[in-house]
Amino acid sequence: MRFLNAGESHGKALVSIIEGLPSNLKIDTQFINYMLELRQGGYGRGGRMKIEKDKIDIFSGVRGGYTTGAPVSFLIWNNDWENWQKIMSTGEDADLESKKVTRARPGHADYAGALKYQQKDIRNVLERASARETASKVAIGSIAMSFLKEFGIQVSFCVTNIGGAQCPEKVLEISDTIFENPLYCPCEKTTKDMIHLIDKAKEEGESLGGIVQVIVKGLPPGVGSYVNYDRKLDSKIAGSLMGVQAIKGVEIGMGFEAGINPGSKVHDEIFFDKKKGVFHGSNNAGGIEGGMSNGEDIIVKAVMKPIPTLYNPLQSIDIYSGEAYEAAIERSDICAVPAAAVVAGSVVAWEIANSFMEKFAGDSMEEIKNSFENWQGIIKSFTGGSHE
Ligand SMILES: Cc1cc2nc3c(=O)[nH]c(=O)nc-3n(C[C@H](O)[C@H](O)[C@H](O)COP(=O)(O)O)c2cc1C
């Protein structure tokens, strides 16, 4: 499966095409719109999120609520377009002056992007570099989540750290009620500290980053492969997460901690039980060994840097004249870590669904389900003969 999207932050719409979805998959637009709403939520977002209520508008590949096997295309309209029509017009009538940006923001794509694409206005860079594009990824990831659910595979996600306020316990379960928390954080006490930090950052014209976590339950062993770098499940997940704006590091399972512990404290012992089949005594590997799922929960963390646009701007230059100025200010979030959690869950779901499709390939849901059930039987008979 593959997807492509296009669209500017203040353009008319985000345009997306997914190719390779099997036929007869139910497309739950209510769920997709709910996920889009979650991406727009979370304490610490900027004014824009109040203007826009993202909704998916499907154009092809779906009929009567089910995929047909044809490419699925959809738009997410930008409700703010009204205020930007003149500035973002694709025609020669565009107002290219009134929202021109020349003072690069440290931490954003502004300087290198304008230089690379030889643009006289940083706006032509920031409009596409912007994380507005992640709305498309969330819609696509929601479809992947619905697909995985058909096979009993659940993807959940949360926030575990904002600006240094860290959940004290390891998060191994994420409840469905997580979204009642304003920061999608499982720890109430930490949430209070996080809110305090965000309020303080707002007062000081600062911004904050943090850490998000994704858990995938129910994935059978054998998804992904060790045979080449581009088929490894961990490589695909990490690559996709690093493709999300402002994500600067990814950990699978124990992650960086594995480097400071001896082997006996890192590797998960293997057991067999007639009832449970093969299982591990711990899950430091985060459910992936040799680029393949090993039957345990997939546990992934990603770190988001603080938002680059600061209301109390850093020193920078006018990139055309070279003169020293404070960086430009675009309407911006103070902290978008909860949104990043939704995006992280979405891109992980997409990668898992993709590797899943590679293993249980089929053109229709029926065909994939047959292949999946067959694999369950193979797993059961592989170790210790047949067991319940
Ligand atoms: C959900 C989300 C929302 C974001 N919102 C903003 C924002 O409001 N202002 C901003 O300057 N950067 C924002 N960013 C981060 C920038 O898009 C990102 O830092 C920039 O494109 C440069 O890419 P890089 O950080 O990956 O190098 C956001 C990122 C995410 C994931």
Note the pLDDT tens digit of each residue in 49-103: 566 699 999 999 999 999 999 999 999 999 999 999 999 999 999 999 999 999 9
Tell me: pLDDT of 334 over 60: yes
Whether the CB of 245 sits within 6 Å of ligand 1: yes
Q: Region 296-311: what's the mean pLDDT?
A: 97
CA distance 148 to 153: 5
Q: Ligand 1 pocket check: which of 50, 54, 80, 307 to mutate, most ligand atoms within 8 Å of Cβ?
A: 307
Write down the pLDDT at residue 51.
63
Write down the pLDDT at residue 103.
97
Contacts for 167 with CB less than 8 Å, ≥ 6 apart: 160, 161, 185, 186, 187, 190
Whether the CB of 346 sits within 6 Å of ligand 1: no
Give pLDDT tens digits for 222-275. 999 999 999 999 999 999 999 999 999 999 999 999 999 999 999 999 999 998
Atom of ligand 1 nearest to the CA of 244: 31
Write down the pLDDT at residue 52.
62
CA distance 385 to 116: 60
Confirm if 117 and 109 have CB atoms less than 8 A apart.
Answer: no
Write down the pLDDT at residue 47.
63
Write down the pLDDT at residue 331.
86
Q: Whose Cα sits closest to atom 28 in ligand 1?
A: 131
CA distance 122 to 202: 25
Find the farthest-apart pair of alpha carbons in the chain and give their distance in angstroms, rounded: 74
Whether the CB of 336 sits within 6 Å of ligand 1: yes
**Cα(10) to centroid of ligand 1, in Å?**
15
**What is the CB neighbour count within 10 angstroms for residue 155?**
26
Whether the CB of 212 sits within 6 Å of ligand 1: no
Q: What is the CA radius of gyration of the chain?
A: 22
Give pLDDT tens digits for 127-139. 999 999 999 999 9
Count the alpha carbons within 13 Å of 143 in the hemisphere toward its beta carbon. 32
**What is the CB neighbour count within 10 angstroms for residue 58?**
16
Confirm if 35 and 139 have CB atoms less than 8 A apart.
Answer: yes
End-to-end CA distance of the chain: 34
Write down the pLDDT at residue 69.
98
Whether the CB of 46 sits within 6 Å of ligand 1: yes
**Cα(270) to centroid of ligand 1, in Å?**
41
Q: Ligand 1 pocket check: which of 39, 45, 130 to mutate, most ligand atoms within 8 Å of Cβ?
A: 130
Atom of ligand 1 nearest to the CA of 339: 1
Q: Whose Cα sits closest to atom 12 in ligand 1?
A: 307
Whether the CB of 131 sits within 6 Å of ligand 1: yes
Look at residues 101, 9, 99 and name the one whose alpha carbon lies nearest to residue 54. 9
Could you write out the DSSP letters of every residue in 226-290? SSSGGG-HHHHHHHHHHTSTTEEEEEETTGGGGGGS-HHHHSPPEEEETTTEEEES--TTTTEET
Quick one: tokens of 42?
Answer: 């979370």
Tell me: pLDDT of 358 over 90: yes
Tell me: pLDDT of 184 over 90: yes
Q: Ligand 1 pocket check: which of 245, 312, 343 to mutate, most ligand atoms within 8 Å of Cβ?
A: 245
**What is the CB neighbour count within 10 angstroms for residue 73?**
17
- Domain edges within the chain: 2-382
Give pLDDT tens digits for 4-49. 999 999 999 999 999 999 999 999 999 999 999 999 999 988 766 5
Residue 186, classed as helix, strand or coil, is coil
Write down the pLDDT at residue 44.
82
Residue 2, classed as helix, strand or coil, is strand
Q: Whose Cα sits closest to atom 24 in ligand 1?
A: 246
**Cα(245) to centroid of ligand 1, in Å?**
5
Whether the CB of 296 sits within 6 Å of ligand 1: no
Atom of ligand 1 nearest to the CA of 39: 1
CA distance 353 to 76: 22
Whether the CB of 134 sits within 6 Å of ligand 1: yes
> How many residues are given for the chain?
388
Whether the CB of 48 sits within 6 Å of ligand 1: no
Mean pLDDT over the full length of the chain = 96
Whether the CB of 246 sits within 6 Å of ligand 1: yes
Contacts for 289 with CB less than 8 Å, ≥ 6 apart: none
Q: Region 320-332: what's the mean pLDDT?
A: 94
Residue 354, classed as helix, strand or coil, is helix
Tell me: pLDDT of 388 over 60: no
- Which listed CATH number (3.40.50.2300, 3.40.50.1100, 3.60.150.10, 3.40.605.10) goes with 2-382? 3.60.150.10
